[in-house]
Amino acid sequence: MSTGATRKSSTKTRSPSTSKNTNSSKTSKTKVARGKGDELHQLAGGNIAPLTTQQGIPVSDDQNSLKAGPRGPVLLEDFAFREKIFHFDHERIPERVVHARGYGAHGYFQLTKSLAHVTRANIFQRVGEKTEAFVRFSTVAGSKGSFDLARDVRGFAVKLYTKEGNWDLVGNNIPVFFIQDAIKFPDVIHAVKPEPDREFPQAQSAHDNFWDFISLTPESMHMIMWIMSDRAIPRSFRFMEGFGVHTFRFVDAKGKSTFVKFHWKPKLGLQSVAWNEAVKINGADPDFHRRDLWDAISSGNFPEWDLGVQLFDQKFADDFEFDVLDPTKIIPEEVLPVQIVGRLVLDRLVDNFFAHTEQVAFCTQNVPPGIDFSNDPLLQGRNFSYLDTQLKRLGSPNFTYLPVNAPRCPFANFQQDGHMATRNPTGRANYEPNSWGVAGGPREHPDNGFKSFAASDEGEKQRTRPESFADHYSQARMFYRSQTPIEQKHIADALVFELSKVEHLHIRKRMVSHLPNIDSTLAAQVAKGLGIDVPEQAEALIPPMDVPTSEALSIILRGPKSFKGRKLGIFASDGADARLVASLISTFEKEGATCEIVAPKIAGVILSDGRQLVAKQKIDGGPSVLYDAVALIFSEEQANVLAKDAVSKDFLRDAFAHCKFVAYSPRVQSFIAAAGLSDELDEGCFEISSSQTVSSFLKACRELRYWRREPSVDFDAQ
């Protein structure tokens, strides 16, 4: 946000928490601005070589980019940031430095509500009009060959081929980020990537370098709550949200600005997997998310998202208790509702992965007239960085001519030559202005061309952050307390798991010291899980506030209440009740779900009526982790045989341990006993023998998980 207005001197509209905090409520501006440099120097013992640029110039501040005033735009003259991000962008070839493992599909965006009153952007004018789109989903930390179910942020990048040029809304499935200033982006990615001396672990954050950086970077605490939650292990691309992360601007025909935050909301609702389940999915099918998207589009079950916007003016921005330029903060939907204005549909698979998914180039600076940027320092840095990245990765400034990157509208300029130039301006003129008339080529278009919002910024050149960015814990607390008890348990479990992989005790303790600022119960659970006492509470620059919780932040509270788009695994044997199998398939497919047959042999089974049923999976390759619910339909004879097979018993035991709904035919009792679950069956387990009992099973499956079972099957962080 580029603001002529000045934020209020105090943004606290609610009382600070009464939890222990040794910091004064009067924040030192110098301390906020300087960040961690002095403290890190002390940690190193004081005897440390000065940090310099590649040219040997000592760096005074490696925590903040150079801005025009605390909340002003990042300045082009910041050579230290420019060199740092330039070098980072060029570290990998040809694989992306981040978001290397991705999967994409074609589709369209259709406007359902006009926004002509707030933006001149052509794409938001006419209800019903469709705009071609390409979407790439990705993990962040892993290499191109890593597995899909890493605990990680997911990229949600959308390229919209509008009539006024390409608009790249390059977002994530989490609405906040680890850092506030782009100068720290190389550091957070270096920290989470495989440690450079050993090149492992791959696609994992459970190691010393990551948690060392995070524990020294309190601004990351809100993001850590998200990344340790179930949001970081989504069941499918189809079941996750997307966010533009930053505050952008809409600009209307008269030059008036309205701030906007973008949201993608899945029509099929949110869903994630359990951590133990994710680990096993990665072994059973490391392409789980890719396959899911491919299968859905191939079968005509086109994934769909609503586009929502949060619109607000300068007064709201000034009055809101957190800074809307801070990318580690959100505006809760209860405070500012999300308006649904369009829908995104993916209806076409790529016909060549490299030509489309691998070569697609997203740049945050690609916006059409009517959309503009705020002074969010992370967004400003991304705008500067992405073009460098594409140049290095694709090898030429002419990457824009690749079909997946080329605009669908007419385009013309005087840019010429370069490696792999597939088109050049023709005629005599290759410069502007010129006096050759029509033959002189394209000209500026003052009326319809892109115009930046005429913001008024002023301030001293300085490396700093505003005091309004200094509250690092209040929204982390809000997120944690907005979760259901089972989701809170998962966050504690994740922190215990991740920190248990950290070899150095002082890093574990330093990280746990931040948790009392978020929630004392969470801190106690994590400390207990690690076998340590809760350390002295980390000092907060601004005492955390108790802000209202937000139901929109919980996956479970916003569940879909439908089994549509999900998958039922039917483990069947020879002699299985044909009528029961048919009832399951017809009932669940009518709901919009998919049914897959799992059998002892891939050739399938002979049902009770003599009909052969072909299997989709052999039991050894089709574990229950691949399904959202399971049903076991055996003959009595085969139940006794399968009771001796460890893999078959694991199918049931895992489904039960992962809190899935389980159905079984009456003749499966001996198998259940052999799996050791006869005395464990609960209300999430259904004996089915008729169409009525099948319907009852489906009704239960709409809850997706029987979470009441978890306390009896998983004792982590309790």
Active site residues: 99, 172
Residue 110's contacts (CB-CB under 8 Å, 6 or more residues apart) are 128, 129, 130, 131, 342, 343, 345
Say if CB 660 and CB 685 are below 8 A apart: no
Type of residue at 425: P
Say if CB 188 and CB 206 are below 8 A apart: no
What letter would DSSP give residue 95? S
Cα–Cα nearest to 164, from 504, 500, 410? 410
Instruction: Catalogue the E-assigned strands of 224-366.
Output: 242-243, 248-251, 257-266, 304-312, 339-349
- Distances from the Cα of 636 to the Cαs of 632, 640, 641, 670, 680, in angstroms? 12, 7, 9, 8, 21
Q: Distance (Å, rounded) from C-alpha 413 to C-alpha 440?
A: 11
Cα angle 324-329-335, degrees, rounded to a multiple of 5: 75
Q: At what angle do helices 377-394 and 79-89 cross, to 10 degrees?
A: 40
Q: Distance (Å, rounded) from C-alpha 152 to C-alpha 203?
A: 8
The helix or strand, by DSSP H or E, that contains position 494, with its residue range, turns out to be: helix 485-500
A 10 A CB-CB count for 42 gives 10
* CA distance between the termini of the chain: 43
Handedness of CA 320, 322, 324, 329 (dihedral sign): negative
Q: Distance (Å, rounded) from C-alpha 292 to C-alpha 269?
A: 15
A 10 A CB-CB count for 366 gives 22
- Tokens 């998919």 identify what position? 594
Q: Could you tell me how far CA 504 lies from the centroid of its own chain?
A: 29
* 319: Cα within 13 Å, side-chain hemisphere: 7
Q: Distance (Å, rounded) from C-alpha 667 to C-alpha 635?
A: 6
Q: Distance (Å, rounded) from C-alpha 490 to C-alpha 188?
A: 24
Helix, strand or coil, per DSSP, at residue 599: strand
Residue 179's contacts (CB-CB under 8 Å, 6 or more residues apart) are 185, 187, 188, 217, 219, 220, 327, 328, 378
